[in-house]
Chain A
Amino acid sequence: MSSCLDLSAVEAKAALAEKKISATELTQAYLDAAARTEALNAYTEVTAEKALAMAKASDDRIAKGEARALEGIPIGVKDLFCTKGVETTACSNILNGFKPVYESTVTQNLWDDGAVMLGKLNCDEFAMGSANETSARGPVASPWKVAGDDKSYAPGGSSGGSAASVAARSSLMATGTDTGGSIRQPAAFCGVVGIKPTYGRCSRRGIVAFASSLDQAGPICRTVEDAALMLQSMASHDPGDSTSVSEPMPDLLKGLEDGVKGLKIGIPAEYTMDGMDSAIVSLWEEGRKWLEDAGASCVEVSLPHTKYALPTYYIVAPAEASSNLARYDGVRYGARMEGNSLDEMYAATRAAGFGDEVTRRILIGTYVLSAGYYDAYYLKAQKTRRLIQQDFTSAFSGVDLLLTPATPSAAFPIGQKITDPVTMYLNDVFTVPASLAGVPAMSVPSGLAANGLPLGLQLIAPSFREDVLVRAGRAVEKAAAFSAVATGVAGGRS
């Protein structure tokens, strides 16, 4: 029997417009799904009352013929976005109890377009992680299972709750944030679509800051069309974020079905690594063939500084984090530990509030910014970052897009990689370069590993060309015809 949980957001919009279903029914179905899949730990809080009130308001507007772009669409919000009156902790104990008195610009944009808030979604603490295992709210289990294997697999991170919930159909769409791959890697692990837009497209106002020169919000959805629809709503120029850009976002849905005929796609020689899953290598070749069959031409390109992107990132991101997280001092928000002096109070509060990975990154960041080491580490990384950006600029002088794998492997069991930070960091080897360059990129579910877990391909476009990005993403989606559904899905297809 088909269920309303099977509908994509675009299909749900049509069903709502045709009065085949009400926003209240749709929202209730997702609230029920969230309750049925509670064991995944994707949600940190379900805001059922708020969701039903918003759905009721949507039903009223639909009845009056005043439906907006996302009217009645139930959305989950990563716990990194400030939501007025709803606890927002970035999944860190240091923000326990924090209830923002304002709404993030991105979530406000979604509500202004009629979306319904289902609740807050689990993520790595301060978005620092690639498996959702650093969360103070506990790990998230991917709804995907390996046949004959009882183990729970990581949904990826840091937007692990977002990707797991969209894959499990306990939210129809979810917000994510991506600093080095935190939308694209979990989307790939969970068999869903994720877009990291051009740096500056989505306002960072009201998003808990990790590394401000890299942080970007973006959508995690079931289809490329849904992701285009959601990104259109999330993006805006915002005077409240000094790095928000004023370039108008193209209409992403308009040319979505135009295909890739005539486009030139670069295949970067450097996007490979030792121990890469052979299924990913063949999927990448297949992806190239799909695009060629659809009328694109593919050429080899070189981005020579690719291998330096990850170490560059692990200087730049912790440096910015150490500065951003200085604000958690036990004075203005969160829990406070007692101390005999102000300094002792700070140090005790921060020791109690931050988890291991966050502490590690603050210390690395403090070290690389400290007197005597700044030039050797931070300045060196900023210079290497320039070379990485120039790699993209020169590649895009000859091609319209790049096609790469999204991740070097499929998802791994929870707990398997947390012991060694550098091994965990390698998850982001293919996603970090686009973050450092600020260019838009997306992950499209494209195939399955030998064990049946999803794999994604990544498309990367020049700055401000999200229109070309989603058009090619749609072409890959069509060719891949990815129809596998997670075993832990909340109802719907069996």
Chain B
Amino acid sequence: MAMSVDKSTVSRIARLARIDIGEDRLEPMAGELNGILSWIEQLNEVDTDNVEPLSSVTGHALPMREDQVTDGNIPQDVVANAPETMSGFYVVPKVVE
């Protein structure tokens, strides 16, 4: 690891995460993230050769179910909390010119 985050990296990951980080916050944020990442780097000490990554603690296979409709016909509920709707649809800023 031993990688360090700079201003441009913060700007890049903020764009990936779709969060505006003001120009004045980029440098302090880089410092905060480096503080956390350098502390995390102690994981380099751990020998993980031939260790399977663990993504689920239960060990259960995900259950399968019949591919059938079990819910629905509630468009008004689905859009009930949306900031802007029209005739049961979400409204977003224009995407295609």
Write the residues of chain A forming the contact surface with B, with a CB cutoff of 8 angstroms: 97-101, 199-200, 213, 239, 242-243, 245, 305, 307-308, 311-312, 314-315, 322, 326, 329-336, 339-348, 350-351, 354, 359-360, 362-364, 366-367, 370, 373, 376-377, 379-387, 389, 420-422, 436-438, 463
Question: Is B33 touching A367 in the complex (CB atoms < 8 A)?
Answer: yes
Q: Please give 18 more A-B residue pairs, beta carbons under 8 A apart, in addition to A311-B40, A363-B33.
A: A98-B81, A199-B58, A213-B57, A239-B63, A305-B46, A315-B40, A331-B92, A350-B18, A351-B20, A363-B13, A363-B14, A366-B17, A383-B51, A385-B54, A422-B36, A436-B57, A437-B57, A463-B57
Residues of A contacting B33 in the complex (Cβ-Cβ under 8 angstroms): 360, 363-364, 367
| B79 CB to nearest A CB, Å | 8
* Known contacts A360-B33, A370-B13, A376-B3; is-contact A438 B81 (Cβ 8 Å): no
Task: Say yes or no: A382 contacts B19, CB within 8 Å.
Answer: no
A245-B60, A363-B29, A389-B57 given; A421·B36 CB < 8 A: yes
Which residues of A have CB within 8 Å of B65? 239
Within the complex, what minimum Cβ distance (angstroms) separates B67 from chain A? 14
Out of B43, B53, B54, name the residue touching A308 (CB < 8 Å).
B43
Given contacts A342-B93, A383-B53, A347 and B58 within 8 Å (CB-CB): no
Residues of B within 8 A of A385 (CB): 53-54
Q: Closest residue of chain B to A435, judged by CB?
A: B57
Query: Can you spell out 11 A-B residue pairs with CB atoms less than 8 angstroms apart?
Result: A242-B62, A311-B40, A315-B43, A351-B20, A360-B36, A362-B17, A362-B19, A367-B13, A380-B48, A386-B53, A463-B57
Partner of A322, one of B3, B17, B77: B17
CB neighbours of A463 from chain B (8 A): 57
- B82 contacts partner chain A, Cβ-Cβ < 8 Å: yes
Q: Are B93 and A438 in contact (CB under 8 A)?
A: no
- Chain B interface category by residue count: 35 or more
In the assembled complex, the Cα of A312 lies from the Cα of B55 at a distance in Å of: 12
Q: Which residues of A contact B84 (CB under 8 A)?
A: 336
Task: Please judge, given known A-B contacts A366-B16, A384-B48, whether A332 and B54 are in contact too, CB under 8 Å.
Answer: no
Contact of B80 among A99, A334, A367 (CB under 8 A): A99
Closest to B54 in A: A386
Q: Nearest chain B CB to A79's CB is how many angstroms away?
A: 15
Residues of the B chain whose Cβ atoms lie less than 8 Å from the Cβ of A339: 93
B71 nearest CB across to chain A (Å): 10
Query: Are A342 and B56 in touch, CB under 8 angstroms?
Result: no
Contact A384 B43, CB 8 Å, known A341-B93, A363-B10, A376-B1: yes
Q: Which B residues are in CB contact (< 8 Å) with A370?
A: 13, 16
A384 to B58, Cβ gap below 8 A?
no
Contact of B81 with A422 in the complex, beta carbons under 8 Å: no
Q: Is the CB of A330 within 8 A of B83?
A: yes
Residues of chain A lying within 8 A (CB to CB) of residue B62: 242-243
Question: Is A382 a contact partner of B39 (Cβ separation < 8 A)?
Answer: no
Q: What are the residues of chain B within 8 A of A348 when measuring CB–CB?
A: 20
CA distance A246 to B95 in the complex (A): 45
Given A347-B19, A366-B17, A380-B48, A421-B60 contact (CB < 8 Å): no
Tell whether, in the assembled complex, residue B77 and residue A101 are in contact, meaning their CB atoms are under 8 Å apart: yes
Contact with A along B1-31 (1 / 0, CB 8 A): 1010100011001111111110000000100
Q: When A314-B40, A348-B20, A350-B19 are in contact, do A335 and B35 touch as well, CB less than 8 Å?
A: no
A421 to B16 Cα, complex, angstroms: 23
**Which listed residue (B10, B35, B54, B77) contacts A421, Cβ 8 A?**
B35
Q: With A213-B56, A315-B40, A348-B20 known to touch, is A387 a contact of B93 (CB < 8 Å)? A: no
Chain A nearest CB from B43 CB (Å) reads 5
A357: nearest chain-B partner, CB-CB = B32
Q: How far is the CB of A430 from chain B (nearest CB, A)?
A: 17
Partner of B54, one of A100, A307, A344, A383: A383
Q: How far is the CA of A346 from the CA of B14 in the complex (A)?
A: 12
